[in-house]
Amino acid sequence: LCKWWGAYKYTLLSTRYHDMYLVKDLFKLWLVRSEQEFHYVNYCLEIPKERIVKVPLHYRIESVSNIDMKENFCLHVSRLSAPGKNVARLIAAAKKYGFELKLAGALGDNEKLWFDNLVGDAKNIEYLGMVSDAELKLLYQRAKVFALPSLIEGVGMVALEAAAYGCEIVLTNID
């Protein structure tokens, strides 16, 4: 609704946050995931506290108590071509510093060419494609490091899941 009604698509003079502000009164209830989101919705959008409900984040996999020896690679899981996920910078870092990087997630046909151009002939970067939940758990168990260099989110669910499996976590400083 925000995108459809918002002025951004007509004038490019708005942002998604302004668009949200324009339609804020159409919603009777706001669901947020954290105290930071609660504060944003209350203070910035001027939504009364009574209309905001916090629904805590919950990861979808169980944590493990016995963590085996980790393999020396960095894992990243996301919609890889999304600009805010910052995958291009992660790939550049892997090429520059030579660490093993495994990337899992969706890439469309047009995006695959973008990805292949970024990786080039780097032998230390592996594209795994889409993985099942069972494969993802195995990757979490094996990976020494999980990187989420996102420009638009703080702690994502995949980072929490990776931490539950004993991965060292590298995140950007986004609240």
**pLDDT one-digit tens code per residue, 72-127:** 999 999 989 888 888 999 999 999 999 999 999 988 878 989 999 999 999 999 99
Round the average pLDDT of the chain to a whole number and report it: 85
The Cα–Cα gap between 86 and 162 comes to 18
Residue corresponding to tokens 């954290």? 34
Residue closest to 149 by CA, chosen among 129, 127, 170: 170
Instruction: Yes or no: say if 14 and 3 are a contact pair by the CB < 8 Å rule.
Output: no
* pLDDT number for residue 20: 81
pTM: 0.69
Q: What is the pLDDT of residue 128?
A: 96
- pLDDT category of residue 30 using cuts at 50, 70 and 90: very high
Under the phi-then-psi rule, with left for phi > 0, alpha for psi from -120 to 50, and beta for the rest, what region is 111? alpha
**Structure tokens that stand for 134 in this block:** 């069972």
Per-residue pLDDT reduced to its tens digit, 131-153 = 998 999 999 999 999 999 888 77
CA distance 91 to 162: 19
